[in-house]
Amino acid sequence: MKNLAPAIFPPSGIGDAKPANQTVLDWVNEIATLAEPENIFWCDGSDRENEFLIAESLKQNVLINLNQKKVPNSHLHRSDPNDVARVEQFTFVCTPTKEEAGPTNNWSEPGETYTKLRGLLKGAMGGRTMFVIPYIMGPPDSPLTKVGFEITDSKYVVLNMRIMTRMGEIAVKRLGNDPNAEWNRGVHSLLDVNPERRFICHFPQDNTIISVGSGYGGNVLLSKKCLALRIGSYLARKQGWLAEHMLILGVESPEGKKHYVAAAFPSACGKTNFAMLIPPEHFKGWKVTTVGDDIAWMQVRDGRLYAINPENGYFGVVPGTSYKSNPNAMRSISHDTLYTNVALTDDGDVWWEGKDGDPPAHAIDWRGNDWTPNSKEKAAHPNSRFTTPMLNNPALDSDVEKGGGVPISAIIFGGRRSDTVPLVYQAFDWTNGVYLGATMASETTAAATGAVGKVRRDPMAMLPFCGYNIGDYFQHWLDIRNRLTNSPRIFSVNWFRKGVDGKFLWPGFGENMRVLKWIIDRCEESGGALKSPIGWLPGPHDLDLAELDIDHKCVAELLCIDHEEWQKEITEHKQFFDSLGGVVPEELLEQREELVARFKQ
């Protein structure tokens, strides 16, 4: 049995926040006995500890120093070039039966999987330090908040988790000493960062995650996709709430009337930009504030849906971020930020494709090679990331720490579609909205390994994140309706529709406020709309397009429903439902029949 007392490393008073909870101690002891680390480091999340870990990381080239005048308290990390995105093909849901994982997840038998992973973890931390990270997901006083412990042999993971979660003593206290308390066990080891030994495994029944062979955020910050979404969605169904891949934003009128909106978009489709939107000049006095940019946990209270952001920071896609596209993100990442896989300029600044200004004449690219504007390779990886505390966001909502959450007026489902899907439309009702979410599709992005730009069905943007049978997930969404007396309206948006010339029809970014305003008007029952076969569409004068330089023809194209495209779309809905092998609830199959019938009217 390993001695749990920290060894000489680190200096005294750092890395010694051991909880009193015996079940946590037993589990840590079990993993230490298996992985045989040199030291055990109990993270307390303090500034002192963070400074110590940054200094160590700089010494060991885990981090690269940046010009502290240009980007104070910020550092750069370069990942292994074979390890730059989520790996859906190596992500498993290990429920007792394959049916429980359902048709959209890779399944593997729990007993065999534990045996395989234990084999891989055996002695895996030899010569390394094993960090134990206590953290909570959610505001400290929220009934939805969950406790997790992540064991990792990566300092980069610790530094990221300190930004992305509320870490340390707060979690130890919340857990207390009750042996039956609910908490998530997360084990991560880099092993040798070999794609052949890369597995991200979830055991929902055991509230356990084991991730090996990767150092990429989405695979190893176990609080995020693994706990807050995959295990979270499983717990949510069991406990009667929703864990969703959604941003949460507040929108306040000049008169001070405020609504909150939750919006699901697949990875790298602009959730962070939307959550930090700055309204254009024409909307003077309107304010958009951010509650969260990636994950919403929602519960029904008094017939309304309330949402919290379980996270404490943003792990956002860097390329394309600029003062033009997202000034609030630029301000957020101008200090106290960890950059991963962006380029390093000769004066120690960070650079990426799409940043304001001219490209540098010379830089070191994300792989560590010389780069000039003539290079064929990108300077920053398309999925390069920033990790930044939410407190850096100038547009942070004042109720972000409110344990009860914020009341949701509208739910938006959005995808990246070059054709077919109009700029915005509203579902007829909750069930129709669930159908809309269940059939949404998007062109794939660099956030996951594999082809980019391929249209795939991504129900509720949860295809890679739903931790149980997708048919049961749809049913759970349908069932929530029975508890809602003041239910959010449901909408679809598509910022990415293109004209025949292949150019985007809609300017996007801050101008999305015009669409948001129509959505708010609809929630207040003041906005006009025309009935169409797919839902309520804004009529020619219902969207406020004043002072926007856009051709009327573009607007017509953005809002048009091309019957031929929709016949193909509806056929694809059927193919998608059929591919799920009989798990789709009857109500959604009926919704499809009704959609077909409406096109015939």
Query: Which residues are catalytically annotated?
Result: 269
Q: Which is nearer to ligand OXD, 452 or 596 (CB)?
A: 452
Listed in sequence order, the residues at least 6 apart from 187 whose beta carbon sits closer than 8 Å to its beta carbon are: 31, 121, 150, 151, 152, 208, 209, 210, 211
295 binds, among Mn ion, ligand OXD, none (CB under 5 to 8 A by kind): none
Residues 554 and 507 sit within 8 Å (Cβ to Cβ)? no
Among the residue ranges 121-129, 264-272, 334-342, 506-514, the one whose residues contact Mn ion (CB under 5 A): 264-272
Closer residue to ligand OXD in complex, CB, 282/456: 456
> Distance between CA atoms of 108 and 101, rounded to whole angstroms?
9
Select from 288-296, 345-353, 358-366, 521-529 the region that touches Mn ion (CB under 5 A): 288-296
To Mn ion, the closest distance from the beta carbon of 232 in angstroms equals: 13
In sequence order, which residues have a C-beta less than 8 Å from that of residue 108 and are 6 or more positions away?
92, 94, 201
457 binds ligand OXD (CB under 6 A): no
> Which residue bears the tokens 């160590």?
56
Q: Among residues 388 and 426, whose Cβ is nearest to Mn ion? A: 388
**What count of residues does the chain have?**
601
Residue showing tokens 């390069």: 384
- From 182, 201, 192, select the one nearest 23 (Cα to Cα): 182
**Which of 184, 267, 345, 388 lies at the binding interface for Mn ion (CB under 5 A)?**
267
**Does residue number 218 form part of the binding site for ligand OXD (CB under 6 A)?**
yes
Indicate whether 420 belongs to the interface with Mn ion (CB under 5 A): no
Residue number closest to ligand OXD, CB atom: 267
- Which conformational region is residue 150 in: left (phi greater than 0), alpha (psi within -120 to 50 degrees), or beta? beta
262 and 500 Cβ atoms separated by less than 8 Å: no
Give the interface size with ligand OXD as a residue count (CB under 6 A).
6
Query: Among 44, 49, 294, 569, which residue sits at the site for Mn ion (rule: CB under 5 A)?
Result: 294
Output 100 or 294, the one with its CB closest to Mn ion.
Answer: 294
Query: Which residue's CB is nearer to ligand OXD, number 212 or number 317?
Result: 317
Residues 284-303 that bind ligand OXD (CB under 6 A): 294
Exactly one of 79, 129, 152, 267 binds ligand OXD (CB under 6 A); that residue is 267
For the record, the structure tokens of 379 come out as 């300077």
User: Based on CB atoms, which residue is closest to ligand OXD, 170 or 242?
Assistant: 242
Cβ atoms of 465 and 487 closer than 8 Å:
no
Instruction: Map the footprint of ligand OXD across residues 70-129, applying CB under 6 A.
Output: 86
Minimal distance, residue 467 CB to Mn ion, in Å = 15
Judge contact between 385 and 340, C-beta under 8 A: yes
CB of residue 497 to ligand OXD, shortest distance in Å: 22
Burial of 355 (0-12, 13-18, 19+ CB in 10 A): buried
For residue 245, the minimal CB distance to Mn ion (Å) is 6
- Bridge partners of residue 147, in order along the sequence: 136
Site for ligand OXD, rule CB under 6 A: 86, 218, 267, 294, 315, 447
Which residues of the chain form contacts with Mn ion (CB under 5 A)? 267, 294
